Amino acid sequence: MPRSNSRGADAPIDGPTSYTRGSIGIWANLLGRLAKRSRGLISSNRPLALDLFRVSDSSRLDAISAKVVTRSLKDEAAAYRINWIAHTAPVNVAEWRQRLSLAEETLARIREGLGNAFEGWDLVRPGPGRRRNGIVTTRLEFVMGSRTLFRQGEADLRELPDEGDLYMLEQDASLPLPLAPLVSLRRSPETVEDACYFYDRLEGGSVRWISYHYAAQSEVFAADDSVVSMIQELDTLG
């Protein structure tokens, strides 16, 4: 989206893109571009693609980069957000029911496109690890389900992951895939529960994080050099 603040956060992208302020438009556009690059790499050099994504099952890569998934998110879900939420007039119950039906159809296409891609490919948060004879044994939390007390486990890895960051780890794999630091699990001192926060924007040298389900602290401002560095790199790429 243009750097000018004269347009809404979800306005269509028709100029240089800046990721300093997040919006569904820029993320959907980036998703489409990355998926296209991934499909090209899978087609031209599948072994390299498997190595880069640190998986052995190539069907996972086919699913997450599938056109039906990216089109549903980029062309449908993003449009719903812009037209129904960001720039909309009040509508009656019948109209909302029709919109719900359209959204459910889009969700069904996304689920069908992804299929079983994430079975045996877990989102994990590493804890303390120890190295012995070249093998790193790490405590893991499997970040799955609606409960914030996640299942615990251990894994023997070839690299020491950063404690507290999020990774994807294929079953029986020894190399986890680090996720971009745009999603964060933060623990509330008051409740000792984890809440999921999403990158929103850079502001005054800090990162603004927002949570959609933790009302007690729906936004957090914190310095994070890794996020700032990634946003600057994305801005350079455009």
Q: What six digits make up the tokens of 31? A: 């998703």
Q: What six digits make up the tokens of 186? A: 């933060």
Alpha-carbon distances, residue 106 vs 96, 111, 171 (angstroms): 15, 9, 29
- Do 157 and 114 meet the contact criterion of CB atoms below 8 Å apart? no
- Kindly state whether residue 17 falls inside one of the protein's structural domains: no
Look at residue 134 in the predicted model and tell me its pLDDT.
Answer: 84
Look at residue 10 in the predicted model and tell me its pLDDT.
Answer: 43
120: nearest Cα among 56, 50, 69: 56
Look at residue 35 in the predicted model and tell me its pLDDT.
Answer: 96
Other Cβ atoms closer than 10 A to 215: 8
Last residue of a domain, one of 178, 202, 217: 178
Last residue of a domain, one of 90, 114, 138: 114
Look at residue 189 in the predicted model and tell me its pLDDT.
Answer: 57
Helix (H, G, I), strand (E, B) or coil at 77: helix
Q: How far is CA 208 from the centre of its chain?
A: 16
Look at residue 214 in the predicted model and tell me its pLDDT.
Answer: 75
What domain range is 130 assigned to? 121-178
Look at residue 212 in the predicted model and tell me its pLDDT.
Answer: 83
The answer to whether residues 46 and 104 belong to one domain is: yes
Q: What are phi and psi of 190, to 5 degrees?
A: -75, -45
Q: How far apart are CA 186 and CA 196, in angstroms?
A: 6
Per-residue pLDDT of the chain (238 residues; tens, 9 = 90+): 223 233 333 444 455 688 999 888 889 899 999 999 999 999 999 999 999 999 999 999 999 999 999 999 999 998 898 888 876 778 899 999 999 999 999 999 999 999 999 999 999 999 999 988 888 999 999 998 766 678 899 999 999 999 999 999 999 999 999 999 999 988 765 655 788 899 999 998 899 999 887 777 888 899 999 999 999 999 988 7
Directed axis angle between helix 24-44 and helix 46-53, to 10°?
130
The answer to whether residues 108 and 146 belong to one domain is: no
- Do 28 and 74 meet the contact criterion of CB atoms below 8 Å apart? yes
The answer to whether residues 98 and 142 belong to one domain is: no
Look at residue 232 in the predicted model and tell me its pLDDT.
Answer: 92
- Kindly state whether residue 15 falls inside one of the protein's structural domains: no
The answer to whether residues 148 and 168 belong to one domain is: yes
The answer to whether residues 187 and 202 belong to one domain is: yes
Q: How far apart are CA 45 and CA 38, in angstroms?
A: 10
The answer to whether residues 36 and 104 belong to one domain is: yes
| Token pair 């090209």: residue | 40
Number of domains in the chain: 3
Look at residue 4 in the predicted model and tell me its pLDDT.
Answer: 29
Helix (H, G, I), strand (E, B) or coil at 28: helix
